[in-house]
Chains A and B, each alone.
Chain A
Amino acid sequence: MTLSDYVAAPLLIFGTVFFLAGTVGLIRFPDVYTRLHALTKSDNVGLGLVLAGLAVQAESWFIVGKLMLIWLLVLLAGASIAHLIAKGAMQRGVQMWRR
């Protein structure tokens, strides 16, 4: 293992932990709004950490740029689509969860 591997491994592992947490939230949370919250927050950070881990190991700056571009596009699309789904649910009268 080289130095970059030691830097990359924790990033990748933390990233997958975030994905796991998001998935658990998606399954366990009670309504569409809280599920969206779990999914988008953790996927954005999880993907960011995974891509950071891959960027550390990348062979060239070109690949680092591509990985950054992927993250930015997923951030943008994920946030927008979460908003659109939540808006659609509001318009259809889906009630928010109350304890």
Chain B
Amino acid sequence: METLTLLQWIFDALTGLGLLLLAWRALASPQLLRAIVLFVAFGLLMAIAWVRLDAPDIALAEVAIGAGLTGALLLAALARLPAAEIVQNGADQAGNPNYAVRIFVWLPLVLLPIVAVGLGYAVLSFPPSSEGLSVEVAANLDKDGVSNPVTAVLLNFRGYDTLLEILVLLLALLGVWSLGGLPPRPAVPAGPVLDTLTRFLTPVVILLAVYLLWVGARAPGGAFQAGAVLGAGGVLLLLAGWRPHPGFSQLPLRLVLVAGPSLFLVTALITIVMGRSLLDYPPERAGILMLFLETAATLSIGITLAALFVGERPRDKGN
């Protein structure tokens, strides 16, 4: 048992040091492509850290959204920045240091120790072991239709958090669409390997998303993880050269995008009209209600993430 504890301690220490190293290299790398790859590696190692902290739900979300989809979005953004390699850390095109950057260098140097001391104080002032709200969550689990405490907190006890998160995602897409004028992605022929891989993986991805959504009621999983997997499938399809039928890229696309948020809002309104508080579901219907909400949220999250990867607003049929 002693050696096992020592091994775990070494593993955790290496993970923590690796995270710091990767974070530093990702931030300090003058090459944007290298920085993105390091950021993805950071996300993967972060997921391992979450697993070690007994938080598989966050690990899944970190791997799917933090490493996978954010990495894809960053790469998509990089592909559209033809001038990106010229602008390097704090220097303009002629290589002169950017004075605004140089002057503000002291600001993080002052702020970082303050934040570090504050965080250290906060962590050290925690009681060594605390149950927090977990007792109350466990006591109320039977009232709310699912047995996974994380899903219960996300969808029921603090459903408004999830509602706002989905709205933030929608707002992000609206922001990207409003920017407009993006250069269209160059159409690269997929080639037989990527094409076959995509054809094989697409049904697997859909099955996995449904599984994650379904299992979220009892075990790690849920709408965000399932949505991220769905979004990643969309990214894969888009990379392989697939484009949605023009008939689906206007009203049907927008309906799917708002399905999750609007179903959430309608449920919130109904719960208020029924005289309960916001998103406080009647216990006997909570399970089925949350399944509906999560299904709509999964679809919206997945399509929103894929649409973010595309970037440009679907054109009207006229032009």
A residues engaging B (CB < 8 A)? Answer: 73, 76-77, 80, 83-84, 87
Chain B contact residue count (CB 8 A cutoff): 8
Contacts of B196 in A (CB 8 A): 80
Contacts of A83 in B (CB 8 A): 193
B193/A84 in contact, CB under 8 A = yes
Nearest-Cβ distance from residue A66 to partner chain B, whole angstroms: 11
Query: Chain A interface mostly helix, strand, loop or mixed?
Result: helix
Separation of A83 and B201 alpha carbons in the complex (Å): 16
Contacts of A73 in B (CB 8 A): 204
Contacts of B197 in A (CB 8 A): 76-77, 80
Contacts of A87 in B (CB 8 A): 191, 193
Contacts of B121 in A (CB 8 A): none
Nearest-Cβ distance from residue A23 to partner chain B, whole angstroms: 13
B194 at the interface (CB under 8 A from A): yes
B104 at the interface (CB under 8 A from A): no
Contacts of B126 in A (CB 8 A): none
B204/A84 in contact, CB under 8 A = no
Known contacts A76-B197, A77-B197, A84-B194; 7 further A-B pairs (Cβ under 8 A): A73-B204, A76-B201, A80-B193, A80-B197, A84-B193, A87-B191, A87-B193
B193/A76 in contact, CB under 8 A = no
Contacts of B194 in A (CB 8 A): 80, 84
Separation of A84 and B189 alpha carbons in the complex (Å): 12
Separation of A84 and B192 alpha carbons in the complex (Å): 10
Separation of A25 and B41 alpha carbons in the complex (Å): 19
Separation of A77 and B196 alpha carbons in the complex (Å): 11
Nearest 8 pairs of A and B residues by beta carbon: A80-B197, A83-B193, A80-B193, A84-B194, A84-B193, A76-B197, A87-B191, A76-B200
16 CB-based A-B contacts, threshold 8 Å: A73-B204, A76-B197, A76-B200, A76-B201, A77-B197, A77-B201, A80-B193, A80-B194, A80-B196, A80-B197, A83-B193, A84-B191, A84-B193, A84-B194, A87-B191, A87-B193
Contacts of A84 in B (CB 8 A): 191, 193-194
Nearest-Cβ distance from residue A2 to partner chain B, whole angstroms: 17
Nearest-Cβ distance from residue B142 to partner chain A, whole angstroms: 26
Please provide the chain B residues from 183 to 214 with a CB less than 8 Å away from any CB of chain A in the complex.
191, 193-194, 196-197, 200-201, 204
Contacts of B200 in A (CB 8 A): 76
